[in-house]
Structure 1
Amino acid sequence: MSLTKYNQKRNFKSTKEPKGKTESSKNELVFVIQKHAASHLHYDFRLEMDGVLKSWAVPKGPSLDPDTKRLAMEVEDHPYSYKDFEGNIPKGNYGAGNVIVWDNGTYEPLEVAEGKSPQKQLLDDLKKGHLRFVLKGKKLKGSFSLVKLHGKQENAWLLLKREDKYVSKEDILLKNKSVISRKSLETMIIEAEKSEEKSEEKKEKTPTKTTVKKSKLSFKKPMLASLTDKPFDDEDWIFESKYDGYRTISVIKENSADLYSRNEISFTKNFQIIADELKKIEHEAILDGEVVVEKKAGISDFQLLQNYLKTGKGKLKYYVFDILNLDGNDVTHLSLLERKELLKILIEKSALSNVFFSDHVIGKGINFFEKSIKNNTEGIIAKRASGSYLVNKRTKDWLKIKNTQAEEAIVIGITKPKNTREYFGALLLGQYEGKTLKYIGKCGTGFSQEVLKELHEKFSPYFINESPLEEKISLRETIQWIKPKFVCQVKFAEWTQDNHLRQPVYLGLRVDKSANDVSFIGKSSVTIKKETKMNQKISKQTENDFDLKLGKVTLHLTNQNKIYFPDDAITKGEIIQYYSEVSDLILPYLKDRPQSMNRFPNGINGPSFYQKDVDEDKIPSWIKTKKIFSESNNENIDYLICNDKATLLYMANLGCIDINPWNSTIKRIENPDWVVIDIDPEKDDFTKVVETALAVKEVMDGFEAECYCKTSGASGLHVYIPLGGKYDYDTVKIFAELIAHEVHQKVTEITSLERSIKKRNHKIYIDYLQNRKGQTLAAPYSVRPKPGATVSTPLEWSEVNAKLSPKQFTIKNVLKRFEQKGDLWKPVLGKGIDIKAILNR
């Protein structure tokens, strides 16, 4: 490519881009990365070579993570002087849009062959299709590679970070300001827009707003999200907060703003404050968002919104997360990130007080969901970053991941009131499973006297004599059936095994949804049949809920008959019973250690989540906690401390199938009590796991130091080396790495020290990184959330042989073993090894 091509594409009378001519640096070669909002947002990566800037367009931008490979499309050479260009490329020109210099600096080839100059080396590597270089920028530092993709498009390359000290999982693109002007691209766009408006005003004597309309703006039904059960991390997705309010489409025209529900019910009068605010936007637009009222903590609350509609008390807020049309231009075909960038500029330039841009995070859904749990919010929404807006479609490009249990339900009847209650006793609730209306339980709480009266008056004209259900339900109360027209919102504890809501609480009527939109999402009928068969195997002696007195503490145990392991018919009650039996064995390895609680409220096939921070206002007063600084949260959080049987069973009742303590205690929080070598296979080849564990034993025997082995309870083995809390985490991590390298040398053909799964080549991973502060592993004697309810079981070294299987120890058989062998793990809490003596050896 040459500068001829660059010059041919540009009209230098209408663009301020520099004309193409060759120039060179006097000393070191330069590089520049320009962030460019053209038809699509991308990053232009440019390397000085042979008097020009060799250039690649990188759609997703550079990364500091070696596991992240970025597509880079080679484009025409740019002139050397282009390195300092930033500003606006006017409409009608090639690459029209706005540009900032995102990063710049110098660079050099990673290696230079003897007799070659750095530039000659780079040019030769460019011809070969594999450039390796070191960047010395303000944001990007260290070694990178550009590799040409053969067999793809002729100009397709990959940009990737090489392993060095500058490697990071941090999203470097969040540092979004120019290294020259210190402006963000968004600021640059707004400035260019204002400049364009002023120039238009000079050209035109009369307003042209009415003449530039491309299409009339009218209500569009919103795009809908599908439900999924688990959060995830993915750089191709963004994650937003899930709000607890009314989904609202706003249509903004000249001097007017109308608000609508998802079913085109007018919200304008109800939310007049929001409508008046939106009139301040000096553009025509269709926006998508949610109207809420928040608690003091800034958390949206549906009941507060209901109260606002009745009393006018509270502050309405409209969180806007998408834009469908701007000034008559349909933008639904743009990617989500492009639409959100456009939306953010629109909202921020309008200086609104009740309307807010709904921000997002990129890639890190699990951490975002954990924060949602901590803040007790509704949950999160995951959206594919490259996705277009699909009007009136439910799609898997948008996924909702709920934290709280809340449902929309159809009111199908009311029961006769008892005692002093008036109007009605409880609501009977249903949901549609296909075209069949299904009974899901009754709701008798959450009503004030005023609400009871108000609902009864609304329901009365729709009383019917026949049940709208095909199924017969057995209730002792007198029932007044209601035409399935009204939709309400309820929160509840969980779905029961017979697909009813447990402990539902009424939150309010949903005026924005029709009954036909309310679909059943509880357990499927197949699951019910399966669980009914399982329940026949369970002893009927276990009560579902009961109080257990342990010393001075009374523990309320719930849902003991809930199936936790479907294939084995093992219940929550059986897990709690197991921990009761082994409490004397497991508690020494939990005492004074912060707990990272891995909760499975609906068993091993249901969604799970980690909880580190406990709410002291919601736990029993006898539970012990400790404030510890969390680097991932960047604040002190309250960890649960498990020092007694009551706390252990409390955790199990929360759904903690496995127990995960820290390696150190709160008495010596910086000093772990053991080294962990976690032998983690990718494939199901346990004989090689055993071979690796024996290699650890051989290495430690050579140092005349003891080590102890247990099954992980999953697919691997854990080898612990006792330390007695004498060394800090940094020392222990380095020592663990040395041991791992020694072991790897003995079994190189079957093991790997590569952290990246892709680089392990299916070998067994010797994981020494479990020795960092805050890392946890399943405790000895802990159940694991695996089929069969396997147990992490201490072993004698003579048992670590070809006959050993990770599945042979379960809650059904280990108690007899523990009674016979006692606590094989006890030496792990002993005096510990002498690291200094081992290093001398």
Structure 2
Amino acid sequence: MSLTKYKKKRNFKNTPEPEGQNGKENLFRFVVQRHDATRLHYDFRLELDGVLKSWAVPKGPSMNPEDKRLAVEVEDHPVNYIDFFGIIPEGNYGAGTVDVWDHGVYFPVNEDLEKITEKEALKALKKGELKIFLKGKNLEGGFVLVRLKNDEKNWLLIKHKDEFSVESSFDISKIKSLNSFDSKETGAPKAKTETTKPEPDDKGEEHKAKVNKATKSKNKVELTHLEKIYWPDDKITKGELIEYYESVSKYILPYLKNRPLSLKRNPNGIKGQSFFQKDAGDNAPEWVTTAEIHSESNDKMIDYLVCNDKKSLLYIANLGCIEMNPWNSTVDNLDNPDYIVIDIDPSDKNSFDDVIDVALATKEVLDQAGVKGFCKTSGSSGLHVYIPFNKKHTYDEAKEFAHIIASMVNEKLPDITTLERSLSKRKKNQIYVDYLQNRIGQTLASAYSVRPKPGATVSTPLEWGEVKRGLDFHDFTIKNTLERIEKKGDLFKGVLGKGIDLDKAIQKLEVLQHS
């Protein structure tokens, strides 16, 4: 973070460039300056560690992921260089005209596109690969800086494929410079330098959510790229996906409301690259509710999106989230799930009729326990069976009860089912009866969620009378789900109703096991 090299190269009596000093607080800003010197190039600068980390990009940044732009690392610049534009006189280092081509804010991210701290960003930079998310006037979305092997100075600046990227040729010369830079624009994320695990309260709850409630706003959701094809074989567009979610919003929202969401984004459709995102990021509008929750796996706070209304649902869908993946519990009671899930997950060697047999065996066990279960298609090759819990018990109790059910199903169908989680240890024709979905933070596609699968299938609640051999999950799509709901009603409503009597159910199953 030294400015020695910068100052050594310049005579500040002869150049209008700022002499500068190290910044005191990182506001996570970036700037791209068009520098018409001996050769025209673009200077890409990130505010980091009290200075502007800087690269000279001969061809300039590109919004096309196919373009791998050479970026030559140069000396650190002072933070107040961020709003510099003008003419550097002849005879001075870098003589020529400097324009501000783009500016804005950014945040560094990890492999899962979760926001990281400044310290972690510096560590990533030192290793030679820094992922960032830009929010500028001309540049937006994910980028990565990758240092070439055995080369200290030369890097590549590459755009990530996302909803902001373009497939056409990106001609930077056709995009005008902005020139003036508003140095008051400091709406940048401030990375937390440390996080602490919340202490349990008097009730013994270990997980708490700091909920940032949405502000009231009459602003409409900005919907973009509605013509983009999301399902190429079916010629279904992003606009049709959003129309579907708008049409079923009153039915899907009860299963999303007040629940943290893990976002799986398919910004270029089901055949494009997808990625998971948990952190809402600083681009989320103020009217969207978020919940800050401590993640034990990486010991950091994650700001989850919470979908409480139609506007939020459409905003999330517009991000390229084809499916909705909520937690089993709500932000006001994270440790106590509303339901138990038995996830019937087949191998490639199993037929859907095999899956149906396992679902019916699950229902048989539940009937013996005096418990009502609710079945839905996963929207893919599996089925999900839900059991209402109504926040009466903990995740550990939910997992243990689910384990009992899964074990009894496995005893009924030992040839085609397994409780073995590891794919390498399973037989190739076995269906995994997954009870481990009943852990805090685990998610499945919600009822009425679309899936990024051929045909735009939907995770659809079923009547038990429909769960029989010959059922085809491909029959439930965004084209017919609303009509089905209007005809049959919300078949999943009971999942959020009165919870089961767990002790009585376990007693009944224990009697069966010992009889």
TM-score strictly above 0.5: yes
Aligned ranges 1:366-765 → 2 under 5 Å: 378-379=143-144, 402=160, 443-448=174-179, 552-615=218-281, 617-683=282-348, 684-762=350-428, 763-765=430-432
Aligned counterparts of 2:409 and 2:263: Cα–Cα separation in 1:
32
Aligned counterparts of 2:260 and 2:364: Cα–Cα separation in 1:
32
Q: Which residue identity is paired with 1:752?
A: T
User: Do residues 770 (structure 1) and 437 (structure 2) align?
Assistant: yes
Deviations 1:716-739 (A, max 9, x none): 000001101111111111111111
Sort the Cα spacing of 1:622 and 1:303 in 2 relative to 1 into closer, same or farther, 3 A.
farther
C-alpha root-mean-square deviation of aligned residues, in Å?
4.2
User: Do residues 805 (structure 1) and 463 (structure 2) align?
Assistant: no
Aligned counterparts of 2:172 and 2:468: Cα–Cα separation in 1:
54
Query: Counterpart of 1:295?
Result: 47
Query: Counterpart of 1:7?
Result: none
> 2:54·2:76 contact (CA, 8 Å) conserved in 1?
no
Sort the Cα spacing of 1:562 and 1:749 in 2 relative to 1 into closer, same or farther, 3 A.
same
Aligned ranges 1:126-145 → 2 under 5 Å: none
Deviations 1:424-474 (A, max 9, x none): xxxxxx96xxxxxxx868732434289xxxxxxxxxxxxxxxxxxxxxxxx
Q: Which residue identity is paired with 1:378?
A: F
Sort the Cα spacing of 1:315 and 1:569 in 2 relative to 1 into closer, same or farther, 3 A.
same
Any gaps of 5 or more consecutive residues in structure 1? 1-243, 246-265, 271-290, 317-353, 361-367, 384-388, 392-397, 410-429, 432-438, 451-549
Aligned counterparts of 2:124 and 2:506: Cα–Cα separation in 1:
59
TM, length-normalised to structure 1: 0.40
Aligned counterparts of 1:826 and 1:607: Cα–Cα separation in 2:
34
Q: Which residue identity is paired with 1:678?
A: D
Aligned ranges 1:236-255 → 2 under 5 Å: none
> 2:262·2:443 contact (CA, 8 Å) conserved in 1?
yes
Q: What is the aligned counterpart of 1:358 among 126, 129, 134?
A: 126
Q: Which residue identity is paired with 1:834?
A: D
User: Do residues 840 (structure 1) and 510 (structure 2) align?
Assistant: no
Aligned counterparts of 1:441 and 1:747: Cα–Cα separation in 2:
62
Deviations 1:771-816 (A, max 9, x none): 1100110000000000110000000001001111121111112221
> 1:304·1:314 contact (CA, 8 Å) conserved in 2?
no
Instruction: Report the secondary structure of 2:468's partner residue.
Output: coil
Aligned counterparts of 2:249 and 2:142: Cα–Cα separation in 1:
34
Instruction: Report the secondary structure of 1:742's partner residue.
Output: helix
Query: Counterpart of 2:119?
Result: none
Q: What is the aligned counterpart of 2:461 among 766, 772, 794?
A: 794
Aligned counterparts of 1:595 and 1:752: Cα–Cα separation in 2:
29
Sort the Cα spacing of 1:688 and 1:449 in 2 relative to 1 into closer, same or farther, 3 A.
closer
Aligned counterparts of 2:220 and 2:420: Cα–Cα separation in 1:
49
Aligned counterparts of 2:224 and 2:166: Cα–Cα separation in 1:
25
**Higher relative contact order structure (alpha carbons within 8 Å, sequence separation ≥ 6):** 2
Q: Which residue identity is paired with 1:402?
A: H
Sort the Cα spacing of 1:799 and 1:313 in 2 relative to 1 into closer, same or farther, 3 A.
same
Aligned counterparts of 2:46 and 2:157: Cα–Cα separation in 1:
23
Percent of paired sites with the same residue: 47
Moved over 2 A (4+): 291-294, 296-316, 354-360, 371-383, 398-409, 439-450, 550-553
Sort the Cα spacing of 1:800 and 1:405 in 2 relative to 1 into closer, same or farther, 3 A.
closer
Instruction: Report the secondary structure of 2:421's partner residue.
Output: coil
1:297 positional shift: 6.3
Aligned counterparts of 1:778 and 1:572: Cα–Cα separation in 2:
18
Aligned counterparts of 1:798 and 1:405: Cα–Cα separation in 2:
42
Deviations 1:556-582 (A, max 9, x none): 111111101000010011000000110
Deviations 1:222-271 (A, max 9, x none): xxxxxxxxxxxxxxxxxxxxxx99xxxxxxxxxxxxxxxxxxxx99xx9x
Q: Which residue identity is paired with 2:126?
A: S
Count of aligned pairs between the two proteins: 374
Query: Counterpart of 2:198?
Result: none
Instruction: Report the secondary structure of 1:791's partner residue.
Output: coil
Aligned counterparts of 2:343 and 2:51: Cα–Cα separation in 1:
41
Sort the Cα spacing of 1:632 and 1:441 in 2 relative to 1 into closer, same or farther, 3 A.
same
1:837 positional shift: 1.1
Any gaps of 5 or more consecutive residues in structure 2? 1-29, 32-37, 59-71, 82-121, 136-140, 182-215, 509-515
Aligned counterparts of 1:399 and 1:710: Cα–Cα separation in 2:
45
Sort the Cα spacing of 1:597 and 1:359 in 2 relative to 1 into closer, same or farther, 3 A.
same
Aligned counterparts of 2:336 and 2:180: Cα–Cα separation in 1:
59
> 1:709·1:797 contact (CA, 8 Å) conserved in 2?
yes
Instruction: Report the secondary structure of 1:660's partner residue.
Output: strand
1:690 positional shift: 0.3
Sort the Cα spacing of 1:447 and 1:714 in 2 relative to 1 into closer, same or farther, 3 A.
same
> 2:50·2:79 contact (CA, 8 Å) conserved in 1?
no
1:755 positional shift: 0.8
User: Do residues 782 (structure 1) and 449 (structure 2) align?
Assistant: yes
1:314 positional shift: 5.6
Aligned counterparts of 2:389 and 2:124: Cα–Cα separation in 1:
53
Q: Which residue identity is paired with 2:500?
A: I
Aligned counterparts of 2:358 and 2:233: Cα–Cα separation in 1:
31
Sort the Cα spacing of 1:585 and 1:299 in 2 relative to 1 into closer, same or farther, 3 A.
farther
Sort the Cα spacing of 1:781 and 1:302 in 2 relative to 1 into closer, same or farther, 3 A.
farther
Instruction: Report the secondary structure of 1:730's partner residue.
Output: helix
Aligned counterparts of 2:476 and 2:165: Cα–Cα separation in 1:
40
> 2:339·2:386 contact (CA, 8 Å) conserved in 1?
yes
Rg comparison, structure with higher value: 1
Instruction: Report the secondary structure of 2:449's partner residue.
Output: coil
